Structure 1
Amino acid sequence: MKFPVLLFAAGLGTRMGDLVKDRPKPLVQVAGKPLIDHALALTDLPQIGAKVVNLHYHAPMLRTHLAGRNIMFSDETDQLRETGGGLRNALPLLGTGPVITMNSDAVWRGPNPIAQLTAAWHDAMEALLLIVPRDRVHGHKGAGDFARDADGRLHRAPDAIYTGVQIIRTETLGDVGQDVFSLNLIWDAMAARGGLYGVVYDGQWCDVGQPSSIPLAEAMLHV
């Protein structure tokens, strides 16, 4: 089975301050390479099908940077749609089956997170989120997001951190009445039905959401 992948790259990246005055956050560099390239390198797997990147802020720069890489673009330059609306907007490029979504503002040290996620996927799941314990998280200032029960199901709790990578079924996206919405709405409904699952990442993860996270990410990559 091949999974299409959507890389979220449309956000304004306001927490990056001056670093995003003249570029989108996915082109901010970590260890000499733009964040979007760190993310795309993880998608070079036989189980990955179509690759889609959504665009809004400094969209032409991302188009130029990614030219010639067999990547399709979901254009959100008319309005930012958040994660849920962005995924639904990209569905004509992604198809009707389960989709991998991935944030483009993180780096990883350890096994390929997408390979770990696809190996754990099974048809009973509505979504499978990759989570990581707090003691293997760098650069993330928020509280935990989910706890995982003995069956692998997730519920809201300030425990493990969501890494920004998941496999999700998209059939229920059409149930949301607005164009701009977060995937949190979809996850909460899935959790209530018992269809929201998680798998724990086996390595280290760094959230590169603000300038102070860049040296943390570079130190993690070079340990």
Structure 2
Amino acid sequence: MPRTPEAVMLFAAGLGTRMGALTADRPKPMIEVAGRPLIDHALDQVDAIAAKRIVVNLHYRPEAIRRHLADRANIAFSDESGSILETGGGLRAALPLLGPGPVFTLNSDAVWTGSPALAQLAAHWDPDRMDALLLLLPAPHATGFRGNGDFFLDTNGRIARASGASGYAYLGAQILSPTRISAISDTVFSLNRLWDIAIAEGRAYGLVHQGGWCDVGRPEGIAEAEALLARTADV
């Protein structure tokens, strides 16, 4: 089994309710930022690692994403039209398409600048020590992030849950071993459950992103993301 993951799970099944009227006629990944749908910004990160297998999960208005990606021969779709499964359940449902071993996972509601996100993770992944490697930024540097942070990061690179004080924001990109997913009996669940197992076993790590990032989970995030991209283009 290859040490570097060969498959990517691209999460695109969210309802996008925080986007209000913008998702009345389209799924959130099809909202445009700087003239391109969000899912294309995500696929830029995927294409930088030449993944062998890409799985996109679908729920709300899935036909729009299927049409948009129809020319991408290396993309398979995991259909969650019956019931949205959250991130953990969605990953488990897609495992037959993803194949064995660890996988990259990537959210489709952000834009990135700097070094390609998944390539950074690949360069630091060590399956002998890790079951999870999450890409992070200090919370104050994560554009559009609300809160004090999701995790603390120790000097050895291990993560722990942040509580109160300022920590690091999770950017929606990671490498994850799904081995322990069998310990979870629920059909619908968050990847937080797998992270908690990995944290308890000392096998959850973080990596600080070398670049910028902006969450596009709310309407105001579109302008923030376009400003981030414009600043980078001007450098």
- TM-score, normalisation: structure 2: 0.92
Alpha-carbon distance between aligned partners in 2 of 1:141 and 1:31, rounded to the nearest angstrom: 23
Alpha-carbon distance between aligned partners in 1 of 2:172 and 2:219, rounded to the nearest angstrom: 19
- Give the CA deviation at 1:142: 3.1
Considering only aligned residues, what root-mean-square deviation do their CA atoms show, in Å?
Answer: 1.0
After superposition, residues 69-148 of structure 1 pair within 5 angstroms as 69-70=72-73, 71-123=75-127, 124-148=129-153
Deviates more, 1:47-56 or 1:35-44: 47-56
Deviates more, 1:48-57 or 1:130-139: 130-139
Please give the secondary structure, in 2, of the residue aligned with 1:138. Answer: coil
> Which blocks of at least 5 consecutive residues in structure 1 are unaligned?
none
Q: Is the 8 A contact 1:2 1:49 kept in 2?
A: no
Match of 1:186 in 2: 194
Please give the secondary structure, in 2, of the residue aligned with 1:216. Answer: helix
- How many correspondences in the alignment? 223
> Which blocks of at least 5 consecutive residues in structure 2 are unaligned?
none
Alpha-carbon distance between aligned partners in 2 of 1:62 and 1:85, rounded to the nearest angstrom: 20
Q: Deviations over 1:153-204 (max 9, x none)?
A: 0000151000000000011111111100001011011100001000000111
Letter in structure 2 aligned against 1:189: I
1:163 aligns with 2:171: yes
Match of 1:49 in 2: 52
Match of 2:18 in 1: 15
1:201 aligns with 2:204: no
Counting aligned pairs with the same residue, the percent is: 53
Alpha-carbon distance between aligned partners in 2 of 1:67 and 1:108, rounded to the nearest angstrom: 24
Q: Is the 8 A contact 2:42 2:110 kept in 1?
A: yes
Over 3 Å counting, the alpha-carbon distance change for 1:26 and 1:54 in structure 2 is same
